[in-house]
Chains A and B, each alone.
Chain A
Amino acid sequence: MTTPATGFFTDTSVCIGCKACEVACKQWNQLPADGDFFSGRSYDNTIHLEATTWRHVAFVERQARLSGQTTSRPFSWLLMSDVCKHCQRAGCLEACPTGAIVRTEFDTVYVQPDVCNGCGYCVVCCPFGVINRREDDGRAWKCTLCYDRQKDGVEPACAKACPTDSIAFGKLDDLREMAQARLQELHRRGVTEAWLYGMSERDQPGTEGLHAFFLLLDRPEAYNLPPDPIVPTKGVAGSWGVMALAAAGMAAAALAATHSRGGDRK
């Protein structure tokens, strides 16, 4: 690896829900529109990450104060800009039968649109429900961590557009330091519910750490993140083992069924 691993650190405590990242992502990547509708779920009309939506801001209106904060009424926002996690052990990549999904020189997970044949296996193998196959296009799409921009040495569009630097882009090592410092700062100020989601293998053994990790202010479920995601390939050895046993069983059944005492071999 010549270039150091890069990623995102999304600090949800400073997100203001402006959706600049969503717009910047759509614009830069020239992604098609998803349709105009209101979901009835706070300000979240984007609803989820999709083949055509590579950043999604979650909105939760909580009737409770954040610890260490004083507001006239018990209220606080949970806002989070969600994105593909570019997992260290990526379910989508390990499942892809065509080799369309690769790890780039930046250690990010990239789907090559000219190779993908739309088999749909990555869709069920992502433990975060990120990647999806677009029906009329037929291929699977997700965040590229702005592979094109990174090759030119500029930061991804969402991070560039984020006005509060809630989305930080950089070398993974730097981001981890930054996240630790921010966490300590928040704890010092009394926001004790702040914690880091998926920063390292220790935090999330199932994926061995995310290259796009988060500082959260509530349980992961509140943001529609899985509490303990596991890359599907962990535990698949058992399945192959069972299959081997069952195969032996079927072979034995076939031999026993065709066996005849008379010996009719000729």
Chain B
Amino acid sequence: MSLAQSRLHVGREMSPGLALQIGEGAAQQVKHAEPDAGGIVPLWRQVPSQHRTDHNYYDLALLKEPVWIWSVPAYFYMGGVAGGSAMLAAALHGKKRLRRLANWCRFLAFLGTTIGPVLLTYDLGKMSRFLNMLRVLRPSSPMSIGSWSLAGTGMMAALSLLQGDRSGAVTRYGTAVGGLLVAGYTGVLLGNTANPLWRERRLLLPALFMSSAAASTAGVLQMMPLDEREEKVVQRFGMVGKAGEAACMVAMQRNDATVPEVAAAAREGKGGVLWTAAKAALVSGILVELLPVRSPLKRKVSGALTTIGAICLRFALLESGKAAAREPQTTINVQRRRMKG
């Protein structure tokens, strides 16, 4: 038996000489036959028998945790920067004295839409099949819409990077519209799930992602060498983004508070720490920005803080989503509350 063959039979206790591997699940590739329970349940050696809990099933998870790895929140950030800079690039089109800034934006949009798909592919269970993302267009799936937007915007961004101010109206408006979609669809994507934390926040997430995209774009640009005129543009754009981001975060916490389990999932564990870090970085970024001095150092510090905040925020959303899925009572209570009306 070849190695590949023996791998296929792992965990199935069947002789390939006697049985045909043609069952619906036979194609499942198994490297380790008996994975440990993955931390889902402690083994009986360590815990006494569990008594039935009154309100749920032994406190076992009702939903599956998101399986996404670090590259997905990293993409959320990259996509935000790409989308924000695409929009800004379109708005800067033809402004002669801001040409350098426009080019920075075009470059960022191109970079984000190039690295973004790589990050997303890295998370795929079957990386070689990444092109299947464009196999169909399924309007009911924000991920499908997002994949097409990302691909389209990537092309537009490459074009406008090459053509600069000479690019036509189609490229210009295409980049802007595509950029806006890329910046915001991720919020819809998280809201459009069965995860109680994300679902309860579904009307705030798109606004959060959109405003945070503007803030992150400005954050990156602020860390670059800018002249006075450019600095002003970036600062204005970033301030709107940061204010929006802060407002959305406050609104989210208030919204969470209506279901104690949702608030707990958002507050506790890794997600909670990251959320607090995001808040702290955002607020200090705003404060530094408001200091009544003008210096490149101040600008760079503010940009760095905003960037750190935006990255922490995206990781916080994923981690708290995991926590919310682990706790069955979160799902149950959200639904029971809704049923009561």
Contact = CB atoms under 8 A, between A and B. Distances in A.
Contacts of B84: 250
Given A94-B141, A236-B192, A34 B35 contact: yes
A30 B66 contact: no
Interface string A168-207: 0000000000000000000000000000000000000000
Given A41-B41, A116-B126, A228 B335 contact: yes
Contact of A123 (B67, B124, B140, B147): B67
B126 A139 contact: yes
Contacts of A254: 87-88, 90-91, 214, 237
Contacts, number: 341
Contacts of B136: 97-99
A164 interface: no
A229 B194 contact: yes
Nearest to B92: A258
B67 A132 contact: yes
Interface stretch (B179-187, B264-272, B274-282): B179-187
A48 B61 contact: yes
Contacts of B202: 235-236, 238-239
A148 B161 CA distance: 51
A168 B91 CA distance: 62
A257 B91 contact: yes
A98 B40 contact: no
Contacts of B338: 228
Contacts of A230: 194
B150 to A, nearest CB: 11
B211 A250 contact: yes
B29 interface: yes
B96 A265 contact: yes
Given A95-B192, A141-B25, A254-B90, A242 B141 contact: no
B192 A125 contact: yes
Contacts of B297: none
B162 interface: no
Interface residues of B, number: 117
Interface of chain A, main secondary structure: loop
B144 A238 contact: no
B236 A257 contact: yes
B184 A243 contact: yes
B39 to A, nearest CB: 12
Given A95-B141, A97-B144, A224 B328 contact: yes
Given A117-B126, A131-B64, A256-B236, A250 B21 contact: no
Interface in A127-185: 127-141, 144, 146-148
A236 B36 CA distance: 37
B60 interface: yes
B141 to A, nearest CB: 5
A98 B25 CA distance: 20
Contacts of A47: 37, 40-41, 60
B188 interface: yes
B63 interface: yes
A137 B67 CA distance: 13
Nearest to B128: A117
A73 to B, nearest CB: 16
B100 interface: no
A1 B236 CA distance: 57
A228 B12 contact: no
Contacts of B133: 97-98, 117, 119
Contact of B49 (A40, A232, A243, A253): A40
Contacts of A34: 34-35
A129 B96 contact: no
Interface in B288-341: 321, 325, 328, 331-332, 335-336, 338-339
Interface in A79-129: 91, 94-100, 113, 115-121, 123-129
A257 B237 contact: yes
B263 interface: no
Contacts of B144: 97
Contacts of A240: 188, 206
Nearest to A140: B125
A64 to B, nearest CB: 11
Closest CB pairs A-B (n = 8): A118-B125, A138-B125, A30-B23, A32-B11, A35-B34, A224-B57, A117-B129, A243-B206
22 contacts: A29-B23, A32-B28, A34-B34, A40-B47, A41-B41, A42-B52, A96-B141, A116-B126, A117-B125, A118-B124, A120-B68, A133-B67, A134-B30, A226-B62, A228-B335, A228-B338, A233-B140, A249-B244, A250-B213, A251-B87, A257-B234, A266-B94
Given A95-B141, A116-B126, 7 more contacts: A98-B129, A116-B125, A117-B132, A128-B62, A131-B64, A222-B57, A228-B336
